Structure 1
Amino acid sequence: MSQKLKKGDLVVMHSCMEAELNEGRIWRCKGDEFNPSAPAVFLEGFSGHFAVEFLQKVDVPAIESEMDLYNEIQRLKDELRKSNKKNEQFLNDWKKAETQANRATEKLGDVTIELKNLKRSLLMEAGK
């Protein structure tokens, strides 16, 4: 987050388990952001501190009616869904890369065994 969170700022959670459990919920910061090495903040209604990297500051427009509130909640849910889709795609790409790396490691192991067998064969032939 480029600007530090301040007391009273409104935020939503994203890209973590708590975000899924609290989808669309807007939290208010109890105090200013702290801990420069691992930025965190306390949130009203949340037990303990929360990592800033999983928070997005929101500017909530003045709510004139229940319909405005409903529309704002839907907008925020859509933003969270988009963010979650990006994270899901990243995770899928990572799993594919991991699978490819595992296959390459298996092939390398097979080649290593073949080389050892070939070396033994050559040494045995040389000894004749």
Structure 2
Amino acid sequence: MSKKLKKGDMVVMHTCLEAKLNEGRVWKCADDEFNPTSPAVFLEGFSGHFAVEFLQKVDVPVIESEMDLYNEIQRLKQELRFSNKKNEQYLNEWKKAEIQANRQTEQLADVTIELKNLQRSLLMEAGK
């Protein structure tokens, strides 16, 4: 986050286990952000402090009716679904890259074994 969180700011959690457990929940910062090396903040209703890197500040409009509240909740849920979909895409790309890396490692191991076998053969022939 570029700007530090302040007491009273409204935030949502993202890309962590707590975000999945609290999907759609808007939290209120109980105090200002602290700890410059590993920024964190206390949230109202959350036990302990929370890493700022997993928080996104949100602008919460003034809710005048239950319908406004319902619409705002639906909007936030949609944003979270979109964010989760993007994270799934990145995870899938990472899994593909990992599979390719594993295949390349296996191929390298096969080539190494072939080279060792050739080396043994050459040494055996040279020893005759």
Do they superpose with TM above 0.5?
A: yes
Counterpart in 2 of 1:126?
Answer: 126
CA drift of 1:51 comes to 0.7
Residue type of the alignment partner of 1:66: E
CA distance in 1, matches of 2:62, 2:26: 14
- 1:46, 1:127 → 2: CA distance? 74
Percent of pairs identical after alignment? 84
- How far apart are residue 4 of structure 1 and its match? 0.3
What amino acid does structure 1 have at the position aligned with 2:42? F
Distance 2:23 2:124 in 1: 68
The 3-state SS of whatever aligns with 1:31 is coil
* 3-state SS of paired residue (2:114): helix
Q: Any runs of at least 4 consecutive aligned residues in structure 1 with deviations exceeding 2 A, and if so which?
A: none
Give the Cα–Cα distance (whole angstroms) in 2 for the partners of residues 26 and 36 of structure 1.
24
The alpha-carbon deviation at position 127 of structure 1 amounts to: 2.0
The CA deviation string for residues 53-81 of structure 1, in whole angstroms up to 9 with x for no partner, is 11111111111110000000111111111
Partner in structure 2 of residue 99 of structure 1: 99
**Structure 1 regions of 5+ residues with no counterpart?**
none
TM-score, normalised by the number of residues in structure 1: 0.97
1:23 is matched with: 23
Partner residue of 2:39?
39
Question: Which residue identity is paired with 1:121?
Answer: S
Unaligned runs of 5+ in 2: none
Q: CA RMSD in A?
A: 0.8
Q: What residue identity is the alignment partner of 1:4?
A: K
CA distance in 2, matches of 1:84, 1:28: 22
In the alignment, residue 28 of structure 1 is paired with which amino acid? K
Q: Secondary structure at the match of 1:100?
A: helix
Larger displacement relative to structure 2 (118-127 or 44-53): 118-127
Distance 2:93 2:35 in 1: 32
Distance 2:123 2:23 in 1: 67
Q: For 1:62-73, what aligned pairs fall within 5 Å after superposition?
A: 62-73=62-73
